[in-house]
Chain A
Amino acid sequence: MAIAKKAVVWGLFAAGGTLSSFIFPALIALFLLVALGFTPDGLQYEHIYAFAASWLGKAALFIVLFLSLWHAAHRLRVVFHDFGVRKDGLIATAVYLVATAGTVMTAFYLYSIN
């Protein structure tokens, strides 16, 4: 069967693109609020910790971060191609490694919050 492995990363890219399109504006807005000094109640330590410690919170954070990372990685690979960089194998390895590292870090930190 000749379906290229790109099918898998493309699936992650599309899912991550959809999720990040829906969620990241709110996420960036929250970071903006924090930067402005208005830390909302839900971002106070106890509340955000309780959220990240709950199974639902863990699942939501993991899925959003995992897919967004792979979305970014795959699109960055295409951006390199579009800018004329022709070492696709090397770039693919690099960007997917960073996405994997981010995914592992996410899993590790979520695991240690309980």
Chain B
Amino acid sequence: MLDLFQKLGHKTLGRFAALGRSTQMLFGALVNMPNFKKGTPLLIRQLYMVGSQSLLIIMVSGLFIGMVLALQGYTVLVGYGAEDSLGPLVALSLLRELGPVVTALLFAGRAGSALTAEIGLMKATEQLSSLEMMAIDPLKRIIAPRFWAGFISMPLLALIFSAVAIIGAHLVGVDWLGVDSGSFWSIMQAQVSFQQDIVNGMIKSFVFAMIVTWIALYKGYDCVPTSEGISKATTETVVHSSLAVLGFDFILTAVMFTS
């Protein structure tokens, strides 16, 4: 019995210690603004790595999710003669939920795991130690540009995802299933509010961006520097950030969309 408590206590303390270390890492990376002359090329490189490189998967997934939503929504709505409401159905579910959440999940799988593996490998090959011995702070040089790149990229990716998905829904709903194009857009416009739906969706996206990038960077930075440790850290990045995104999504939705 006491063993059980001891185990629980050990686990809890371990979790808190990890939280402390990760906060320390993030704080260390962000506390002084990086020098712009040296920082900008690094940031651009990372924006390319995490942003531009994720573009394809985000756009393809967005297109298909939009098309599926339209198809499924249509078959249900047509039963009530309400197929004109397809536009708002698709737009609202994308802007409020699917856009930010699916983008965050895909981002965790595509860019988050890559970040963890890259930093883990840098640690295993002593590149991080070597930077430190060259009197260059790896938090500023390695962690900070990657964090900002993730933080900037993900909301942009979520916007692209939603836009492409709505185009996909239009493709299926209007061009294939014959919903009236005018009512598709106008009812959508009447129902979707910029403030309530788009801005809130973007806030969600920024929160998810921070969570996913933070977890990915921390897992890489704190991993056991062996091949086994890196593979474990990469898996943990995807699992933990996905769960964290879904959990925070519920909290944010509860705060934003219930009055």
A and B: real partners? no
Q: List chain B positions with a Cβ less than 8 A from chain A.
A: none
